[in-house]
Amino acid sequence: MLLKIFDFLRIGIVCAAFFFGYIIGSSHGYDPIAQLHFMIPVVIVAIAGISGFEGLFFSKQAAEIKGFETGSNYQKQSAIAMLSYAVIAVIVYFSDWGIKAELTILFTFLFFFFFSGINHAIDAIQRRNYTWQNINRPFITLLLIAGMLYPVIMALKEMR
C-alpha cells in the first residue's frame, strides 16, 4: 500500500511541477529559465528521491511489484544513484549555480531515466514482465522528455 502511495506521489508531484512550472514560466512573457529553475529540482526529487528512498528502505517490496528479483546489490546501487541525483539537484538549486548546472543534472538524470526505460521495455518483452511498475517506465520517460523538451530548447536558445 505504501509503495502505491509513493507511485502516486511521484506522478502527482511531477504533474504539479509541470503545472506550476508553466505558470511560473509564463507569468511575465515566457521565461524558460525561471520555469526550469522551478521544475528541475522538483521533478528530480519527486522521481529520483522517492525512488531512491523506496529502493533503499523498501527494497524487497519495490522489487516484487516491478517483477524483479529481490535482494540484489545492484538494486541498492541503483537506489543510491537515484538519491544522488535528488541530492545534487537540491544542492544546485539552493546554491544558485544557475541554469547550466541545473541543465547538467537534468540531462544526467534523463540519460539514466531514458536507458532505464529501455531496460524496463526489454524486460517486458523478453520476460513478459507486464507489471504496472515495469511497463510504465518507458512511457512515463517519453512523456517526461516530451514535456521538458520545449522549455529546455527555449532556455538553450536564450543562453546563446
Cα separation, 154 vs 152, whole angstroms: 5
Q: Are the CB atoms for 35 and 25 separated by under 8 Å? A: yes
Per-residue pLDDT reduced to its tens digit, 48-66: 999 999 989 988 887 777 6
What's the pLDDT score for residue 158?
93
Cα separation, 53 vs 76, whole angstroms: 10
Q: Are the CB atoms for 115 and 138 separated by under 8 Å? A: no
Cα separation, 133 vs 53, whole angstroms: 16
What's the pLDDT score for residue 132?
79
What's the pLDDT score for residue 139?
94
What's the pLDDT score for residue 23?
96
The pLDDT tens digits along the chain (160 residues) read 888 899 999 999 999 999 999 999 999 899 999 999 999 999 999 999 999 999 899 888 877 776 777 777 778 899 999 999 999 999 999 999 999 999 999 999 999 999 999 998 998 899 898 887 778 889 999 999 999 999 999 999 999 8
What's the pLDDT score for residue 69?
76
